Amino acid sequence: MNKKETDFIRILKEYKTTIYTVCFMFSKDKDEVNDMYQEVSINLWKGFDNFAQKSEMKTWIYRISLNTCISFDRKKKRRKTVPLTVDIDLFEDNDHESKQIKALYNRINRLEPFDRAIILLWLENLPYDEIGAIVGISTKNVSVRLSRIREQLKNMHP
């Protein structure tokens, strides 16, 4: 294995949680999340030589992950699928806090992909300037969009 491959594998392991966090914002299906993770990994590898370190590694990984998942989500919406349902969920949490978190994520999943990306990064406690760098908008625009997104989430029906 050469140095490039070793460095890439180290980075992939280091940012595995970050990539999976983004993937889980676009799907709750385990197989689909793994497919998205694989797509993100491929896109990271393709862009690895061109990463000029103009931004932090984490910012670059978030950007590639978000763009890949947004594209994956758009392609998925164009395909017709037949969902398979199971009547019971052995892992369902019935406590009040779990229900609130589930309701919040259901609302977030109804947002447009760009807004979903912004709120995801905000929930990850990233500073506004880093969110702006990842999604390609100004810090002020991040602030304005987050206010609108929070208002939109409050006004959504469950």
Domain boundaries along the sequence of the chain? 1-82, 86-158
**Whole-number pLDDT of residue 124:** 87
Cα 61-65-70 angle, rounded to 5 deg: 150
Alpha-carbon span 94 to 6, nearest angstrom: 44
Pairwise CA distance, residues 20 & 128, whole Å? 21
Say if residue 118's pLDDT is above 90: yes
Which pLDDT tens digit goes with each residue over 14-70? Answer: 999 999 989 988 888 899 999 999 999 999 999 988 876 767 888 899 999 999 998
pLDDT value of residue 149: 94
Q: What is the mean pLDDT of the chain?
A: 85
Q: Residue 132 and residue 147: Cα distance in Å, rounded? A: 14
pLDDT at 80 over 80: no
pLDDT of amino acid 93: 58
In this prediction, residue 90 carries a pLDDT of 46
Specify the pLDDT at position 17: 92
Segment 69-93 mean pLDDT? 65
CATH number of 1-82: 1.10.1740.10
In percent, the amount of the chain with pLDDT more than 70 equals 85
Is residue 88's pLDDT more than 70?
no
86-158: what fold?
A: Arc Repressor Mutant, subunit A (1.10.10)
